[in-house]
Chain A
Amino acid sequence: MKSHIPVDRRNHRKCRRRSERFLLLALPGVISAIQPLGEASPDDLVQQTEARRIRMIERVSPAVVCVLDQKLRGGGSGVLIDPGGYGLTNFHVVAGMMEGRTGWGGLGNGERYVMEILGVDVTGDVAMFRLIPPDEDFAFPFVPLADSDQVRLGDTAVAMGNPFNISEDYSPSISVGIVTGTHRYQWGVRGNLTYTNCIQVDAAINPGNSGGPLFNAQGEVIGINGRISVNTRGRFNVGFGYAISANQIRRFIPALRAGRLTRHGTWHARVDALEDKGVVFVEILKSGPSYEAGLRVGDRLMALDGVPISTANQVVSLLGTYPQNWPIVTEVQRDGREYEFVVRLDPVEPRMRRPVPQPRIVNRREVHRVFSAYQNANDTVDSPTTPDHAVWYVQRQHDDPEAGMGNTEHFAALWYEDQPVRMARSYADGSSGGIIEYDDKKAVQRAGDAAEPFDLDPEQTLTLNALYIAFFRWLAPVEQLELGGLTHIGGGVLIPAGAEPTKHIPRSPSGYLSPRTLEVIEYELSDEAKARFAFDIETHELVRIIVRDEVSGTDVSIYLSDYRKLGELKRPCTIDVYGTGYHYRDTLSHEAPER
């Protein structure tokens, strides 16, 4: 098997183990830093530090995987990120296993599990695998992913894995170092295996460490180790290891889980650093997303996703971390004025010598997993029970372009056996808006009894249907779900409500887009309509539904937020609906709002 870092001679640097004893007096810089911790003497502190590190290593090392191919030959390392056995490694580690998409994963407990290879990111050298649990209730040890944008030069970094296939019982080797560079760019091979915006460490990374985790001092995964710089001395550690950042990987996880060949994004534009002009767009493809977003040749690029730009290299490096369709906030200067554009990245096809075969059908399982996670996150009881009939009050505020926000309607909806049967509508002035009657599960009809009849337009019908599905159908036990028509289509990113079509997108403190990565399930409502349900991969909340009418080509976006426990279940209590030319916000409650 050809490995990116082939296993080589056993000439590696031992992991440095040091006990802290007498050094502290020689470090005046350290003394001041330890004072906030109070009475502890330097000796105690040193021992505490060491004990804490040992505890951290003991805690996380069970989740480190020794990746072997079908014939049990060593390939590299990996790490589990989820109790279901999902784990990360490098693509170059599993590249030789793509034929059958299976291998073996050994854990520190000495056990070996069958490994199934799911999605691969060839461009970014990441692959996801799943260890098959021995029984249904089995939970694998796992470790969380860190926010790798918080990683600073000099931070402690702990690499784990199976260098030189040294481990007989699959227990990982540990090496400790510091972060020696951030936001590094390492060229790939013909466009693949490119390490962009990666983390550089001096913890010993050797052949066989590939795919293994790089931890911070808290035991969170900040990256996946995959490359080293070598010189004439041979392929082993010379103090320059590179790890793919956790934040880059996180954006690809949903698609990797869905077993897909992931695609990175491109904006089909080229920037260059020009004398006295900074980093400037020198080429923009007219049919590409940058042009469409409004960028023009000559614009000076000031910031990308909140990161101030000073070199062209930096731009290439940052862009390499995003999947296709990801929205990039681009701040530019044109004629002395500042503009902000949001570019939806086009996909880049990874270059493959031969096509990667699609995995065995994982869709059914993945849909099941997403729904289970949704239920577990939102159910507070074993089997969901809704009252036989309950009244919900909905306050709807229309964001009317003419009248402005504040055009308020009130609904009182009567639900019977998980279904809305009747909804009364009234306006702020107290006049009645009529009664909507629900027929069976889907259709929404209008009934008389209204002072003035109103029409429910098709878009609104779709919206209501989607909401209906979201709230009630999915609360049935997962086992009873009809999976037909449901497809796990990969990932997305949440642009928070109110930000579409996007002029303003909130950012995380580090300046990047608030990284709410989504898993997306598509559902065929009918031949003419599809709904895409997006779940946050961290909280498992349903955060967005997009309903698309294939006939008219119109979209309705529904954002669900403000999850609160109402009765037995957690429900989103604020729902924003964006359609063509309208927006309204529903606020849900069991109690009648004050008029």
Chain B
Amino acid sequence: MMRASYSLMVLPVLIAMTANVPATHAQDRDSNAGFQRAIDSVMPRVVKLYGLGAGKQKGYGTGIIVSDDGDVLTVFSLLIDARHIRAVLADGTIHQAEVIHRDRQRQLALLRLTRPTAPGTSPAPNALDPFPSFDLDRDVNAAVGDWVLAAGNAFKVADGAEPVSIAHGIISTRTRLDARRRLKDFPYRGDVLIFDGITSNPGAPGSAVVNLDGELVGMIGRVVTSNQTYTHLNYALPRDVLDEFYLESLAAEQGEPTPPETTDQSETPLDPGIRLSRVGYQRILPFVERVKFGSPAQRAGVRKDDLILSLNGRNIPDADEYKRRLSYLEPGESIDLVVQRGRAIVSLRIEMDEK
């Protein structure tokens, strides 16, 4: 299975660059007519979410309404761990939201709006009124090069009934990510849509991405960085993935067993039996914290507190690089390590077990 990386995007992006501003810009006096339909459609279907925040994890985000009785899709994040999640609709009405289902693998969550609690809103809308919603089931035409708008609560710029921020761009490509969220690899392995506009901002995850007809194309995913370029990725989970998750969530709610989370064996890196220290800020030095008993590493003589300097001749500046280098190895391939032990430099060869 090939994992297209961010740098591979360059080609599709260049192709996509030759696309242009919607032709309605031609009408000078009416220069936004091309986006107006999309804006009108997306605004009432997006909710501002407020929940748990800690440190750099902002306590705000975005969700999209996917059913007329108030099911809301958003990303899996700390926000939804709040005791009370607040959802502010486009008209400023405030609803409580409860978590119905969460999916670590796709990094998605399903919320449901409960009746409005509404300080500062008037008049309280009829609780039985259907919510304006996106139809996840509907196949939407969205090709590479198409214009899209993303609408969401990025940077928390909009308050109450104020319309959320929009961003515009084109679909650069549909691909898979080799990305991480801080130090951890991003677990989602399915397809994503990549944009040329900047969509990766605090609060933006969960934003609706729509085409110029205002139809849902996808949802902005969590803020992640590329493993190749360390830049933020501007991507969305496509509508079909959202639909899949939504149907599963509803099934799970009905008590049907969820399909087991499939982990792709080929994606698991080889494990010589070394656990590295996790202590460090920004950069974690590759100190060996523990060596698994009976592992290839122990047999080769790796010890606790060794500092790994290189692996198969490659410099290993930090723990991330160690993991990445491991992931490139073929099963059975031996590993040449150079470690610093006290003041000594020690070379070791780990012979891996054949699988």
* B119 part of interface (Cβ distance < 8 Å): yes
Determine whether the beta carbon of A29 is less than 8 Å from that of B145: no
B146 CB contact (under 8 Å) in A26, A34, A310: A26
Which of A153-161, A425-433, A485-493, A578-586 faces chain B? A153-161
Determine whether the beta carbon of A16 is less than 8 Å from that of B198: no
B33 CB contact (under 8 Å) in A33, A53, A277: A33
Residues of B within 8 A of A183 (CB): 162
Please report the C-alpha to C-alpha distance between residue A42 and residue B23 in the assembled complex, in whole angstroms: 7
Residues of B within 8 A of A26 (CB): 141, 143, 145-146
* A237 part of interface (Cβ distance < 8 Å): yes
Q: Mark B149-167, 1 if CB is under 8 A from A, else 0.
A: 0000011011111111111
Determine whether the beta carbon of A200 is less than 8 Å from that of B165: yes
**Interface size, chain A (Cβ < 8 Å):** 67
With A18-B17, A217-B31 as contacts: A34 and B23 at CB distance below 8 Å = yes
Determine whether the beta carbon of B28 is less than 8 Å from that of A52: yes
A313 CB contact (under 8 Å) in B37, B162, B201, B212: B162
* B56 part of interface (Cβ distance < 8 Å): yes
Determine whether the beta carbon of A30 is less than 8 Å from that of B212: yes
Specify which of B17, B21, B34, B147 lies most central, judged by the most chain A CB atoms within 10 Å of its CB. Answer: B21
* B331 part of interface (Cβ distance < 8 Å): no
* B36 part of interface (Cβ distance < 8 Å): yes
* A550 part of interface (Cβ distance < 8 Å): no
B28 CB contact (under 8 Å) in A45, A153, A217, A275: A217
Residues of A within 8 A of B196 (CB): 16
Determine whether the beta carbon of A33 is less than 8 Å from that of B25: no
Determine whether the beta carbon of A27 is less than 8 Å from that of B162: no
* A233 part of interface (Cβ distance < 8 Å): yes
* B289 part of interface (Cβ distance < 8 Å): no
User: Among residues 1 to 49 in chain B, which have CB atoms less than 8 Å away from a CB atom of chain A?
Assistant: 17-29, 31-39
Determine whether the beta carbon of B35 is less than 8 Å from that of A229: no
Q: Mark A256-294, 1 if CB is under 8 A from B, else 0.
A: 000000000000000001111110000000000000000
Among residues of B, the one whose C-beta sits closest to the C-beta of A311 is B160
With A29-B34, A48-B26, A311-B160 as contacts: A23 and B201 at CB distance below 8 Å = no
Specify which of B38, B122, B163 lies most central, judged by the most chain A CB atoms within 10 Å of its CB. Answer: B122
Determine whether the beta carbon of A180 is less than 8 Å from that of B25: no
* B213 part of interface (Cβ distance < 8 Å): yes
* B197 part of interface (Cβ distance < 8 Å): yes
The smallest beta-carbon distance between A315 and chain B, in angstroms, is 12
Determine chain A's interface SS by DSSP, over half rule: mixed
Determine whether the beta carbon of B167 is less than 8 Å from that of A202: yes
Specify which of B19, B26, B212 lies most central, judged by the most chain A CB atoms within 10 Å of its CB. Answer: B26
* A239 part of interface (Cβ distance < 8 Å): yes
User: Among residues 532 to 568 in chain A, which have CB atoms less than 8 Å away from a CB atom of chain B?
Assistant: none
Residues of B within 8 A of A30 (CB): 22-24, 34, 212
Residues of B within 8 A of A216 (CB): 31
With A155-B31, A240-B157 as contacts: A180 and B167 at CB distance below 8 Å = yes
Determine whether the beta carbon of B168 is less than 8 Å from that of A177: yes
Residues of A within 8 A of B147 (CB): 23, 27
Residues of B within 8 A of A53 (CB): 25
Determine whether the beta carbon of A154 is less than 8 Å from that of B166: yes
The smallest beta-carbon distance between A506 and chain B, in angstroms, is 24
With A239-B167, A275-B119 as contacts: A21 and B160 at CB distance below 8 Å = no
The smallest beta-carbon distance between A310 and chain B, in angstroms, is 5
A277 CB contact (under 8 Å) in B122, B168, B232: B122
B165 CB contact (under 8 Å) in A152, A176, A181, A218: A181
Residues of A within 8 A of B145 (CB): 23, 26
User: Among residues 86 to 112 in chain B, which have CB atoms less than 8 Å away from a CB atom of chain A?
Assistant: 92
B25 CB contact (under 8 Å) in A49, A182, A233, A273: A49
With A30-B22, A52-B28 as contacts: A181 and B158 at CB distance below 8 Å = yes
With A37-B26, A181-B158 as contacts: A153 and B166 at CB distance below 8 Å = yes
The smallest beta-carbon distance between B107 and chain A, in angstroms, is 19
Please report the C-alpha to C-alpha distance between residue A475 and residue B232 in the assembled complex, in whole angstroms: 65
* B120 part of interface (Cβ distance < 8 Å): yes
Among residues of B, the one whose C-beta sits closest to the C-beta of A13 is B198
Please report the C-alpha to C-alpha distance between residue A57 and residue B35 in the assembled complex, in whole angstroms: 22
Specify which of A23, A37, A314 lies most central, judged by the most chain B CB atoms within 10 Å of its CB. Answer: A23
* A526 part of interface (Cβ distance < 8 Å): no
Residues of B within 8 A of A275 (CB): 118-122
* A28 part of interface (Cβ distance < 8 Å): yes
* B132 part of interface (Cβ distance < 8 Å): no
Residues of B within 8 A of A297 (CB): none
Determine whether the beta carbon of B168 is less than 8 Å from that of A34: no
Please report the C-alpha to C-alpha distance between residue A17 and residue B161 in the assembled complex, in whole angstroms: 34
With A239-B197, A240-B165, A311-B92 as contacts: A27 and B157 at CB distance below 8 Å = no
Residues of A within 8 A of B161 (CB): 310-311
Determine whether the beta carbon of A273 is less than 8 Å from that of B35: no
Q: Mark A1-30, 1 if CB is under 8 A from B, else 0.
A: 000000000000100111111111011111
User: Among residues 161 to 181 in chain A, which have CB atoms less than 8 Å away from a CB atom of chain B?
Assistant: 176-181
The smallest beta-carbon distance between A522 and chain B, in angstroms, is 41
The smallest beta-carbon distance between B55 and chain A, in angstroms, is 11
Q: Mark B318-355, 1 if CB is under 8 A from A, else 0.
A: 00000000000000000000000000000000000000
Of the A-B pairs whose beta carbons lie under 8 Å apart in the complex, a sample of 20, sorted by A's number, is A19-B20, A30-B23, A37-B26, A42-B23, A49-B23, A153-B39, A153-B163, A154-B32, A178-B32, A178-B35, A178-B166, A181-B164, A202-B198, A218-B28, A238-B201, A239-B167, A239-B201, A275-B119, A311-B92, A311-B162
Besides the known contacts A22-B18, A27-B212, 9 further A-B residue pairs in the complex with CB atoms under 8 A apart? A22-B19, A24-B23, A27-B147, A29-B22, A181-B166, A202-B167, A229-B154, A229-B201, A239-B167
Chain A residues engaging chain B, CB cutoff 8 angstroms = 13, 16-24, 26-30, 33-34, 36-37, 42, 45-46, 48-50, 52-53, 152-156, 176-186, 200, 202, 216-218, 229, 231-233, 237-240, 273-278, 310-314
**10 nearest A-B pairs in the assembled complex, by CB-CB distance:** A20-B20, A154-B35, A273-B120, A154-B32, A239-B198, A217-B31, A49-B26, A18-B20, A311-B160, A23-B19
